[in-house]
Amino acid sequence: MTRRFESLTRRGMLAGLLSTAGGSVLAGAPALTERPLPRGAPPPPAPVAPIVASRSEAIVKAAKLGGEVGFAVADAESGVLLEARLPNTPLPPASTLKVVTALYALDKLGGDHRFATRVLTTGPIEDGRIEGDLILAGGGDPTLDTDRLAELARLLREAGVTEVSGRFLLAADALPRGDRIDHEQPDHVAYNPAFGGLNLNFNRVHFQWEKQQDDFAITMHARGRNFSPATNVAYMGIIERKSPVFEYRKGRDRDKWTVAEWALGRDGARWLPVRFPALYAGDVFRTLARSNGIVLKPAEMVSDLSLARPLVQVESDLLVPMLQRMLKYSTNLTAEVSGMAASSRDGEIDGLTASGARMSGWATARFGVVGPQFRDHSGLGYASGIAPQDMVRILSGSRGIAPLLKTVNLSTSKQNPGPKGVLVRAKTGTLNFVSSLAGFVTVPGGRDLAFSIMTADTARRDAIPPAERERPPGSKSWARRSRRMQKELIREWAARLA
């Protein structure tokens, strides 16, 4: 039998997913509920889960993870639950939540959606001079980078602009803004940046240092492949201190960082999060415009675009390949922006938490799941929760998403390679003492299974001091045992449920 998930070519995948309503991804679902529940009606009783097999239970106990380990595995075509452990216990999904976000974005925006970043003007162009203001208006593009911003500056010059008489303004209200995704993360981790309607380089700045005799040469760049202009929106100072390694202070219009000198060693580089993404993009665009002979005044923020007219624009890639990269590299900003853009289709939203709640309601109505609690779209926050059985219900109802997921190798060691004839496509999720894996398995004979494995030791996680949250003691070995358990469970299911 031909494997349904393996046989799809990239061209066929894109054709199948490019639907203005996202319907092809969500089509063919088992009818777990025939219609959304009436408002105020109690949820239907959860189906009784099969008792977990003794071999699966032995695998869980051997991992010695503590906390709670829940899982569910179902026939992907019929939705029939085959085996489960704590199937109705909500647990943090971590980055497996991005699968739900991808489905939500495809359903609300369509696979052919593109995000646009525009240059607007408030006056006419006379002899190359804009008689009015120039506005850099973000459309929420989470993938806008320095090179594409350079293209926008080039298009501005090609449109005949050589001078601007008025102000340089930034519009970033296409989506709600926030200075970080999750407030419990360390200040300096680049995967927890700001977000809003105008983003650049995943809202990260490239900090680089080089040892020069008794000092260091420091640069803070908006690094791209072809252009890497310096930025004034992020400042770094070197301090002689034992701890912390990085310290952050939010200025009026710039990020102020210091780093402990001993931690630098010799030469190196790392990305740091940006808390003023619109000003960051504006600062970089000024530099790129200047390289095209166009001098702009220091940027100011603006909300009212009623008098503005479009001049030039650049666009993101199609939503489908953007989401595929999001699922492959687990980019949090793409998840948050895609989710908020999807929520905005049903009316104004008040922020990231409200957008997550709107996605929770969508999942309940669309798939009949009971009470998911989504606080964001990336899974970075610990407060989100969904039961393993509900995640499997969503997956069984969305088998078209499988080609967007990464292939997972089931090898647990060089001496124990993955079983032949088994294909796994899934999304991983990892937080401190939280580990998840959700996706699909094609077993020998061609049967497709949908599964979700979720592990969380919340007591151990909550005991981590703030200074140790980036790499808490014991977390690496715990995560390694969890991943091994996940692979062993899937191998067991593939052998027994084929």
> 253: closest CA among 237, 283, 233?
233
Residue 350 lies in a domain: yes
Residue 82 lies in a domain: yes
Q: How many domains does the chain have?
A: 3
Taking each helix axis as running N to C, give the angle between helix 319-329 and helix 332-344, from 0 to 180 degrees, rounded to the nearest 10.
Answer: 140
Q: Do 273 and 192 meet the contact criterion of CB atoms below 8 Å apart? A: yes
Q: How far apart are CA 400 and CA 29, in angstroms?
A: 9
Residue 192 lies in a domain: no
**Residues 380 and 492 grouped into a single domain:** yes
Residue 30 lies in a domain: yes
**Residues 154 and 24 grouped into a single domain:** no
The predicted pLDDT at position 52 comes to 80
The predicted pLDDT at position 45 comes to 43
Residue 241 lies in a domain: yes
**Residues 106 and 122 grouped into a single domain:** no
The predicted pLDDT at position 24 comes to 56
Q: How many CA atoms lie within 13 A of 463 on its CB side?
A: 8
**Residues 167 and 19 grouped into a single domain:** no
- CATH number of the domain encompassing residue 62: 3.40.710.10
**Residues 152 and 170 grouped into a single domain:** yes
- State how far the alpha carbon of 164 is from the alpha carbons of 167, 172, 314, in Å: 8, 21, 20
**Residues 169 and 294 grouped into a single domain:** yes
- CATH number of the domain encompassing residue 308: 3.50.80.20
pLDDT digits (tens, 9 = 90+) for 46-83: 454 566 888 999 999 999 999 999 999 999 999 999 99
**Residues 91 and 169 grouped into a single domain:** no
Residue 194 lies in a domain: no
**Residues 341 and 455 grouped into a single domain:** yes
pLDDT digits (tens, 9 = 90+) for 319-348: 999 999 999 999 999 999 999 999 999 999
The predicted pLDDT at position 36 comes to 43
Residue 182 lies in a domain: no
**Residues 408 and 474 grouped into a single domain:** yes
**Residues 349 and 482 grouped into a single domain:** yes
Range of the domain at 285: 116-176+279-315
Q: Which residues in the chain show pLDDT less than 70?
A: 1-51
The predicted pLDDT at position 418 comes to 80
**Residues 213 and 310 grouped into a single domain:** no
**Residues 389 and 433 grouped into a single domain:** yes
Residue 3 lies in a domain: no
The predicted pLDDT at position 17 comes to 53
Give the 3-state secondary structure of the chain: CCCCCCCCCHHHHHHHHCCCCCHHHHCCCCCCCCCCCCCCCCCCCCCCCCCCCHHHHHHHHHHCCCCEEEEEEEECCCCCEEEEECCCCCECCHHHHHHHHHHHHHHHHCCCCCCEEEEEECCCEECCEECCCEEEECCCCCCCCHHHHHHHHHHHHHCCCCEECCCEEEECCCCCCECCCCCCCCCCCCCCCCECCCCCHHHEEEEEEEEECCEEEEEEECCCCCCCCECCCEEEEEECCCCCCEEEEECCCCEEEEEEHHHHCCCEEEEEECCCHHHHHHHHHHHHHHHCCCCCCCEEECCCCCCCEEEEEEECCCHHHHHHHHHHHCCHHHHHHHHHHHHHCCCCCCCHHHHHHHHHHHHHHHHCCCCCECCCCCCCCCCCEECHHHHHHHHHCCHHHHHHCEECCCCCECCECCCCCCEEEEEEEEECCEEEEEEEEECCCCCEEEEEEEEECHHHHHCCCHHHCCCCCCHHHHHHHHHHHHHHHHHHHHHHCC
